[in-house]
Amino acid sequence: MWNQIFDGYCPECKLNGEDVPMRLNANDFFESEKTGLQIAISFPGVQAAVLNFRGKGNFRKTVNYAHDVENGELLSPQIKDRFPYCGEELFGNEDEFKIYVQELK
């Protein structure tokens, strides 16, 4: 079940009832090992931006998982091209999130 709070697992995969880890990639984003969905922690403990493009599986050699350091950030869509990647907008509900991820590059 999808949740607006980032718990370190892929929120897209949660739509299918799966807990898929998100791993730190070479660009310092957490990336789903299954779907390539990327999340940037914009404000630790407050907000995380779901990036508008998928990763390519270029993970760091040192393995770091988001669920080991999660702080319960609220998920936001990416609206800026630079850090912090988000503004004050949050996903209002699961349907908004579904539409957003369906349109990812």
pLDDT digits (tens, 9 = 90+) for 38-86: 999 999 899 999 999 999 999 999 999 999 988 899 999 999 999 999 9
Would 5 be classed as within a structural domain?
Answer: no
Would 95 be classed as within a structural domain?
Answer: yes
pTM tops 0.85, yes or no: yes
Q: How far is CA 95 from CA 15, 40, 98, in A?
A: 10, 21, 5
Q: What is the three-class DSSP state of 5?
A: strand
Would 75 be classed as within a structural domain?
Answer: yes
Domain residues for the domain of 55 are 11-102
**DSSP letter for each residue of 20-84:** -BEEEBTTS-EEETTT--EEEEEETTTEEEE-SS---S-B-SS--BGGGT---PEEEE---SSTT
Would 3 be classed as within a structural domain?
Answer: no
pLDDT of 1 strictly over 70: no
Cα 49 from Cα 41, distance rounded (Å): 6
Domain count, the chain: 1
Cα 47 from Cα 3, distance rounded (Å): 13
